[in-house]
Amino acid sequence: MMRRTLTALVIVAVGIGIGCAKGEPDDPAETAYKAMRAEYSATDDEAKKAELAEQYLAEFPDTSHSGSMAAVVAYYRGERLGHQQQVFDVLSAALDQIEDPEARFEVSMAMVPASYEIGQPLDVAAVAGALAAERALGFDEHYRVMDAAEQHQLWSLAEHHAEAALAFATEEAYRADYPDRDFSDDQVALRARLRKVEALAYKGWALCNQGRDEECFSVFEEADPLNHSSYAGSSDTPLDRFWGQALVDRGAYEQAMELLIPDALLGDRSNALPPLKEAYVALNGDDQGLEDYLWSERQRIARTVDDFTLPDYDGTQHSLSGGNGNVMLLAFWFPT
Amino acid sequence: MELPRLQPLFEKYQDQGLDVIAVEAYRDTKRAQKFIEDKGLTYTFLENGEDDFEVVQSLFGVRGYPTSFLIDRDGRVMYAHLGFEPGDEVTLEEEILSLL
């Protein structure tokens, strides 16, 4: 549930941030998009945000913004406000007007969670197949499909698209996907590596869920040395979470906890904490000492922050070491 | 966006020793300053280096925005969070309270 939220949010951010660069300047759809976007950014009202996207989709269903608008509707109208039937209806109506196969794919994928919630599940394989009939899918599309398949426990579909995504887990493929971007060799190497770990993580998890234990754990082990940690120390991919859950399911609780702790404390908490709790309770009989355990684990794994010095808008330099023993909330952002 | 949600936390806990520092990643100075002023944000705002990868990407490995870290009084990274959804400030407040 929460993972889906994050995916949607990232898409929303991308759609709102970058989508405006596309299209002709005097295109009415583009002019309307800019006006809508200004209103969208200015409000914190979730229903209003949903409404703006819905109105835009109703008026201009088939544009380069269709996918991001659909994601906004699915997130705010669906997940936040719980009106899944409305999401389904609004996106179905838009879909009827959309010819572009890529836009159809994006809008359909955004509809999948709502379609499951209201008991009329879309055929994810058919959605992917429709685009695949037009052109070969790329990494991000395979990722979308394998993630949706994982959410809805369509294991052989997840396995198939994870396998297909693996073909794009190379530096050449990554560069080819972003021809206009000036990435350094190190960045490209890291992104390619992360793609590989992600695809292997989903593949392993899909295999585990099909009862192919031997294969699944060997896939996790293949991915492990390639995995990458965030600054705080949690996994940058779902590998540890899937692997940990697979171990919990098989009763290997101690090993599972070791894998799940960094994500549960410093990373994808909403997905990693439940299996960690399950393992803790299985080992200890109840969750009485869980909070103390988490606190001591946090002390054990926390790293010391690196220092840096940067100017404020008056030109005064600030450094982290000047934090004078306060608790610090450090946020990285950019204005949208 | 999300940053205004940090303002009430800052106001509530600054006297108990909470600093809030926001680093703007892309040196979009004009828009950033307008945003800060429009939203009435009073905590510390810093600008990232000329090269946007200088601090953000290389040191903190930030891969999406906003990314937040909570650092305890001993300078240890005790919490990290990617994205900011409505409701996240509740979790954040619990985390802050556990460190103050």
- φ, ψ at A165 (rounded to 5°): -65, -30
CB contact under 8 A, B76 and A303: yes
DSSP-derived pairing of the beta strands A309-311 and A317-319: antiparallel
CB contact under 8 A, B65 and A13: yes
pTM over 0.90: no
CB contact under 8 A, A333 and B2: yes
> Which of chain A's residues have a Cβ under 8 Å away from the Cβ of B19?
323, 326-329
Q: Which residues pair with A263 in a beta bridge?
A: none
Rounded to 5°, angle at Cα A184 from A183 and A187:
80
Say if residues A275 and A247 touch (Cβ distance below 8 Å): no
Nearest Cβ partner of A327 from B25, B33, B99?
B99
> By the CB < 8 Å criterion, does A331 face chain B?
yes
* Helices assigned H by DSSP within A155-252: 155-166, 171-177, 185-208, 213-223, 239-249
Q: Give the tokens for residue B34.
A: 């307008």
> Which of chain A's residues have a Cβ under 8 Å away from the Cβ of B6?
329, 331
CB contact under 8 A, B55 and A308: yes
Q: According to the model, what pLDDT value does residue A281 have?
A: 97
pLDDT bin (cut points 50, 70, 90) of residue B27 is confident
Which segments of chain A have a pLDDT < 70?
1-25, 322-323
Report the C-alpha gap between A183 and A239 in whole angstroms: 25
Please state the ipTM of this predicted complex: 0.95
Say if residues B60 and A327 touch (Cβ distance below 8 Å): no
pLDDT tens by residue, A97-140: 999 999 999 999 999 999 999 999 999 999 999 999 999 999 99
pLDDT tens by residue, A304-316: 998 888 889 998 9
CA distance, residue A11 to nearest chain B CA (Å) = 11
Report the C-alpha gap between B29 and B69 in whole angstroms: 22
> By the CB < 8 Å criterion, does A21 face chain B?
no
DSSP-derived pairing of the beta strands A317-319 and A327-333: unpaired
